């Protein structure tokens, strides 16, 4: 049975909203098949609960060279939320959504988004994401670690409601461009990645 803990006040000062960059990979490209190999390596020693220390890629994944792709954002255009749902008494889960706006519809951006959507749609377990927020903290979306059972599961993100392209109505204030929303449902709070940008295994074309 899970146990309660003391919760201490944060000693961190300030804090900025929004996200700076994200990396994404199809969950199918993480290695769950090799004997003795885990798709994700966890660090249980540094903090009071586990964080994700590294990802292990499946070199035999069909149809693709495994590795994280990245998405860069303009300032004040991207965020993620993880919001609790109470479907019935004594039960809860969280809806995770990462969303961003891209100004100005154009051919190149449309092609890039079509590729992202097709890639996400072909992933049987959805997309796993590492998100860097504007305080240089890294979060792992589409993944959950059950602290009390020392087990993890994937809950990959897929294209969600809120994704649209629009011209807007008011020329001076409305967006002409794209809004992208990717979403999933997870059992609890989003875990963090305790590596850094240099240690993310990126796709090498």
> At 119, is the pLDDT very low, low, confident or very high (cuts 50, 70, 90)?
very high
- Tell me the per-residue pLDDT of 168-203, one tens digit each, with 9 for 90 and over: 888 888 889 999 999 999 999 999 999 999 999 998
**pLDDT, average across residues 111-120:** 94
CA 71-23-130 angle, to 5 degrees, is 135
pTM: predicted TM-score of the whole model, two decimal places: 0.87
Cα–Cα distance for residue pair 52/25, rounded to 1 Å: 15
- Tell me the per-residue pLDDT of 143-168, one tens digit each, with 9 for 90 and over: 998 877 778 889 999 999 989 999 98
SS3 133: strand
Cα–Cα distance for residue pair 163/153, rounded to 1 Å: 26
What single string gives the DSSP state of each residue in 44-76?
-SSSSS-EEEEE-B-TT-TTS---BEEEE--TT
- Assess contact for 67 and 201: CB atoms under 8 A: yes
Domain residue limits, the chain: 19-198
């Amino acid at each position: 049975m899970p146990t309660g803990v003391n919760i201490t006040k944060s000693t961190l000062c300030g804090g900025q909203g929004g996200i700076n960059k994200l990396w994404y990979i199809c969950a199918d490209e993480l290695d769950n098949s090799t004997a003795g190999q885990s798709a994700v390596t966890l660090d249980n020693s540094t903090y009071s609960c586990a964080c994700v220390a590294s990802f292990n890629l499946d070199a035999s994944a069909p149809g693709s060279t495994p590795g994280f792709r990245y998405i860069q954002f303009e300032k004040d255009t991207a965020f993620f939320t993880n919001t609790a749902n109470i479907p019935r008494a004594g039960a809860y889960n969280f809806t995770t959504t990462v969303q961003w706006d891209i100004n100005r519809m154009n051919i190149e951006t449309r092609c890039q988004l079509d590729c992202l959507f097709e890639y996400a749609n072909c992933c049987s377990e959805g997309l796993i994401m590492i998100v860097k927020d504007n305080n240089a903290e890294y979060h792992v979306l589409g993944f959950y670690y059950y602290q009390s059972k020392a087990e993890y599961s994937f809950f990959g993100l897929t294209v969600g409601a809120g994704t649209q392209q629009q011209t807007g109505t008011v020329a001076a204030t409305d967006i002409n461009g794209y809004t992208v929303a990717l979403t999933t449902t997870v059992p609890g709070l989003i875990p963090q990645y305790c590596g850094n940008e240099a240690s993310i295994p990126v796709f090498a074309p």
